[in-house]
Amino acid sequence: MPQASTQVPEGYVKAFFRPRSLSDAKYTYCPGCHHGIVGRLIAEAIDELGIQDRTVGIAPVGCAVFLYQFYRVDFVQAAHGRACAVATGIKRANPELVVFSYQGDGDLAAIGTAETVHAANRGENITVIFVNNQVYGMTGGEMAPTTLPGQRTTTTPEGRDVRLTGYPLRISEMLAQLDGPAYITRQSVHDVRHIQMARRAILKAFRNQLEGKGFSLVEIVAACPTNLKLPPPQANRWVAENALKYFPLGDLKVKGG
Amino acid sequence: MPKGLVVIDKDRCKGCGLCIGACPFEVLDFSGEYNSAGYNVAHMAHPERCTGCAICAQVCPDVAIEVYRLQPDKLKEGA
C-alpha cells in the first residue's frame, strides 16, 4: 500500500499490517470469501515462526488454485486431490523443509480422500489446511461430499437428498479415529473470536511439524457467499446457524495432551 | 486525535461489508465510491470513534485494511 504512509498523520504507529509472507498480488476470490482470511492466518503463522525461507506450500485444484501467487514462499501446484501425496514426497526428500498443503473440500474430501487418509494414517510430518465450504466453489456451485442435507446447490436444486447422495462426510472425525495423526482440529472464521481461535490452531499445526510430532490437520468451516447466494454477512450467519450444527468445532485429536 | 486510524486499500477492497458489520463502534460504512473493479469500497464514516482495535482488519477477507494506533505519549498530550 504505497499511499498509506503519506495519509497517516504523525504520532500513529502501525498496529495491523499485511503479513510479510503474503505477496502484493490481489486475491482472486469472490467478495467475502473465507479463503482470504485463512490465507492470511497461514502467512501470519509463517511470519511468527520465522520459517518463510524454508516453507513449501502445496496448492490444490479449486478456488485456491492460484495460491502460489499470493505467497512469498515456494509452491507446488498438485494434481487434483494429490496434495498430501506431493507433500509427503517433498517432506521425505527434504525433511528440513516445512511443508503444508492447502485444500478445499472438493479436493481433500472427494477426489483426494485416499491420499489424505493414507498420509494421515502414516503420520506424515506435514501440515494440512482443509477449507470446508460445503460446495464445489470454482466449478459453479455443485454438491460436494460435505454439502449439508437439504442444502440447495446447482446439482441438488431441490436440496441434497441423503437417500440418493448420502450424508455429509466428516473428514476430521474420520481421521481422528486413526493412530497416525498428531493433531486434528475443526475451526471456523465466521467472526473475530473464531478467527483468533483458528489462528492459534494453524500456529499449533505448524509448530507440531517443527517439533516433529507428525500429521496435523486444521479443518476450517468456511462460507461461500457466491454459491450460497447470500450477502457475505448473512453467509457468515448461515455458517454459524447451519454448518456448525453438522460440523461441531473443537480439537478432535491432540496426541500427548 | 482519535486513538485509532484505519487505511483501506481501495484497489483491494471488494465491498463485501464484513468490516462494516464487525466494527463495534460503527466507524466504517460504504463510501459510495467505486474502484476499478466496480466494487463499492468501505471508508471511515466516523473516524473520530475509531479505537484502533483492528477487528475490521481481522475480518477483512482481502487483507485490504491497515490499522494505526496513536502512540501512548501522544495520547497523554491529547488528554
CATH code where residue A59 lies: 3.40.50.970
CATH number of the domain encompassing residue B53: 3.30.70.20
User: CB burial class (10 A; 0-12, 13-18, 19+) of residue A254?
Assistant: middle
What distance in Å separates residue A165's CA from the closest CA in chain B?
32
Nearest Cβ partner for B61 among A19, A29, A231: A29
Q: Is residue A147 part of a domain?
A: yes
Q: Is residue A233 part of a domain?
A: yes
Query: Is ipTM beyond 0.85?
Result: yes
What distance in Å separates residue B55's CA from the closest CA in chain A?
7
Residues of the domain holding A139: 19-254
Q: Is residue A6 part of a domain?
A: no
How many domains is chain B partitioned into structurally?
1
- Cell numbers describing residue A74: 515456494
Residues of the domain holding B8: 4-78
CB pairs under 8 A between A and B: 96
* pLDDT tens digits, B59-77: 999 999 999 999 877 666 6
Q: Is residue A5 part of a domain?
A: no
pTM score? 0.94
Q: Is residue A13 part of a domain?
A: no
- Cell numbers describing residue B34: 467505486
Q: Which residues contact A89 (CB under 8 A, 6 or more apart)?
A: none
How many domains is chain A partitioned into structurally?
1
Contact criterion met (CB < 8 Å) for A17 and B66? yes
Name the residue type at position A56: V
Find the mean pLDDT for residues A153-167: 95
Q: What is the distance between the alpha carbons of residues A15 and A207, in angstroms, rounded to a whole number?
A: 25
Q: Is residue A79 part of a domain?
A: yes
* pLDDT tens digits, A179-218: 999 999 999 999 999 999 999 999 999 999 999 999 999 9
